[in-house]
Amino acid sequence: MAHAVYPGSFDPVTNGHIDIIHRAAHIFDTLTVSVLSNKAKSPLFSTDERVNMLKDVCQDLPNVKVDSFSGLLADYVKKNGYDVVIRGLRAITDFEYELQMAQTNRKMAPEADTVFLTTSLEYAYLSSTTVREVAAFGGDISLFVPDRIADQIYEKFRKG
CA distance 86 to 64: 13
Among 15, 32, 105, 114, binds ligand PNS (CB under 6 A): 105
Return the ∠ at Cα 101 (arms to 41 and 74), rounded to 5°: 80
Phi, psi of 137 (to 5 degrees): -100, 15
Q: Which is nearer to ligand PNS, 28 or 69 (CB)?
A: 69
Min dist CB 100 to ligand PNS, Å, is: 7
Which of these ranges, 6-14, 46-54, 130-138, 150-158, lies near ligand PNS under the rule CB under 6 A? Answer: 6-14
**Catalytic residue at 120?**
no
The DSSP secondary-structure symbol of 56 reads H
Given 34, 50, 128, 132, the catalytic residue:
128
Residue 43 lies near ligand PNS (rule: CB under 6 A): no
**Catalytic residue at 90?**
yes
Residue 88 lies near ligand PNS (rule: CB under 6 A): no
Helices (H) and strands (E) in the chain, counts: 6, 5
Helix or strand run (H / E) with residue 114: strand 113-118
Residue 118 lies near ligand PNS (rule: CB under 6 A): no
CA-nearest of 117, 126, 119 to 87 is 117
Residue type, 39: K
The DSSP secondary-structure symbol of 112 reads -
Residue 7 lies near ligand PNS (rule: CB under 6 A): yes
Name residues contacting ligand PNS, limited to 60-79 (CB under 6 A): 72-74
Residue 47 lies near ligand PNS (rule: CB under 6 A): no
Which of these ranges, 25-33, 42-50, 53-61, 98-106, lies near ligand PNS under the rule CB under 6 A? Answer: 98-106
